[in-house]
Amino acid sequence: MNTKETIKNHLEFLGYEVMDNIEDSIICRRNGYSGILIRWTESYISLFGKYNINELAKNNTADFLSYLNRLNCQSSISTFYLDEDNEFCFASIYTGSYDKKLFAEYLEQWENDTCHRLDRIQETDRFLGTLDSLSQSTYETNISACA
């Protein structure tokens, strides 16, 4: 059974700070990683994240889409895309019932896809700036548009 308290407690145990605790979703963050919007049902848990892209990415759509394709080819569980507002989003779905060990492994893969993998790809600095310099407040302001 996927319950809000179970997911919230697990995230806090893993070092995430739950920033907003809305009825049907959780927004949380962990130092050094992207913020996450989490929604759930009885059969799945969905994760969403978002970064703003810089002017270089906005003005070089073909190059940026090539970068997204590269990320998607190398990703373990996440899908990277541009939303209708041309924002850089990523999402993933954990299917099945919540299992503590499996969900922890899933979150590890999410963190690898959405943080470590981005750090290892040269185009990340070109289109987003370094991940360390991304503003958490910018992420928080725009997270709802990604979901």
3-state secondary structure 21-42: EECCEEEEECCCCCCEEEEECC
Q: Rounded to whole angstroms, how far apart are CA atoms 64 and 127?
A: 7
Nearest to 107 by CA among 20, 42, 21, 49: 49
Q: Indicate the average pLDDT of the chain.
A: 83
Structural domains counted in the chain: 1
pLDDT given at position 103: 92
The amino acid present at 83, given as its one-letter code, is D
Which residues, including other chains, have CB under 8 Å from residue 67's CB and lie 6 or more apart? 57, 121, 123, 124, 126, 127
The mean pLDDT value for 125-137 works out to 59
Chain segment 34-66, per-residue pLDDT in tens: 889 999 888 899 999 998 888 888 888 899 999
Q: For residue 68, what are its two tokens?
A: 């997204």
Q: What is the CA radius of gyration of the chain?
A: 15
Which CATH number is 36's domain given?
3.30.1460.10
Task: Supply the range of the domain harboring residue 123.
Answer: 4-146
Nearest to 117 by CA among 42, 33, 10, 52: 33
The mean pLDDT value for 84-110 works out to 91
pLDDT given at position 141: 39
The amino acid present at 99, given as its one-letter code, is D
The mean pLDDT value for 77-103 works out to 92
Q: For residue 67, what are its two tokens?
A: 């970068």
Q: Is the pLDDT of residue 131 over 60?
A: no
